[in-house]
A and B are shown apart, each in its own frame.
Chain A
Amino acid sequence: QVQLVESGGDLVKPGGSLRLSCAASGFTFSDYYINWIRQAPGKGLEWVSYISRGGSTIYYADSVKGRFTISRDNAKNSLYLQLNSLRAEDTAVYYCATLNAEKAFDIWGQGTMVTVSS
């Protein structure tokens, strides 16, 4: 079935780095635009980053620009998010989600937890 599975979340110290992964199955990954969206504990959703089907177009939220890097490997049906210079306010569940033609997030993973704390 159509599925996205995130991994890589962990406890990391402020200033540290982490790489998240999102594995896709059940659909043609390369046909889809895809995003990272996060949710801090007890808080709302925050869009983080977008990457186009071929990876040539990338957008970031101002809150992560210059610190996070999104990438994808269509041959491996995988999406990545490199998180550098992590701050306490980056603590959140990170979801990957596909974007449909109407710019809505239609397929979501179950999320992976990133905790930034000393």
Chain B
Amino acid sequence: QSALTQPPSVSGSPGQSITISCTGTSSDVGGYNYVSWYQQHPGKAPKLMIYDVTNRPSGVSNRFSGSKSGNTASLTISGLQAEDEADYYCSSYTSTPGWVFGGGTKLTVL
């Protein structure tokens, strides 16, 4: 199972919005709405930010939103804050069955 494709890095200034893409295939992202996004700060465990493409767990800021079109899912962070600087990973359930992650995107808040 090949990893989902994410840009290695994105950046934005405080207050701006950024979007991270996550491209898979019809066997994973395109075939299911089981796409999730994780935030990971250095040396810490990942944290679930978005599940089922668009849903936020309790406690996650509404500045984080998700969407999907075809085989590509996206995470948008609006009103960027310094604390958002982290690595972000997408994940999808697959037809294998199993799960696949994206390669990760490093977000830099300028």
Residues of A within 8 A of B (CB): 35, 44-47, 50, 59-62, 95, 100, 102-106, 108-111
Our pick among A95, A105, A109, A110 for the contact of B91 (Cβ within 8 Å) is A105
Give the residue name and chain of the A residue nearest to B100 (CB): A47
Give the residue name and chain of the B residue nearest to A60 (CB): B98
Interface size class of B (residues with CB under 8 A): 20 to 34
Contacts of A47 in B (CB 8 A): 91, 98-101
Contacts of B38 in A (CB 8 A): 45, 105
- Say yes or no: is B107 at the interface (Cβ < 8 Å to chain A): no
CA separation between A108 and B48, bound complex, in Å? 9
**By the criterion CB–CB under 8 Å, are A106 and B57 in contact?**
yes
**By the criterion CB–CB under 8 Å, are A103 and B101 in contact?**
no
- Say how far B73's CB is from chain A's closest CB, in angstroms: 13
**By the criterion CB–CB under 8 Å, are A108 and B51 in contact?**
no
Residues of B within 8 A of A (CB): 1, 3, 32, 34, 36, 38, 40, 45-48, 51-52, 55, 57, 89, 91, 93, 96-104
**By the criterion CB–CB under 8 Å, are A105 and B48 in contact?**
yes
- Say how far A39's CB is from chain B's closest CB, in angstroms: 9
Give the residue name and chain of the A residue nearest to B33 (CB): A102
- Say how far A26's CB is from chain B's closest CB, in angstroms: 16
CA separation between A77 and B1, bound complex, in Å? 31
Once A47-B98, A59-B98 are accepted as A-B contacts, the answer to whether A104 and B45 lie under 8 Å apart by CB is no
Give the residue name and chain of the A residue nearest to B37 (CB): A104
**By the criterion CB–CB under 8 Å, are B1 and A61 in contact?**
yes
Our pick among B52, B98, B103 for the contact of A104 (Cβ within 8 Å) is B52
Contacts of A46 in B (CB 8 A): 101
Give the residue name and chain of the A residue nearest to B89 (CB): A45
Contacts of B51 in A (CB 8 A): 100, 102-104, 106
Given pairs A47-B91, A61-B1, 16 additional interface contacts (CB within 8 A): A35-B99, A44-B102, A44-B103, A45-B46, A45-B89, A45-B104, A47-B98, A47-B100, A50-B99, A95-B46, A103-B93, A103-B99, A104-B36, A105-B91, A106-B51, A108-B47
- Say how far B13's CB is from chain A's closest CB, in angstroms: 26
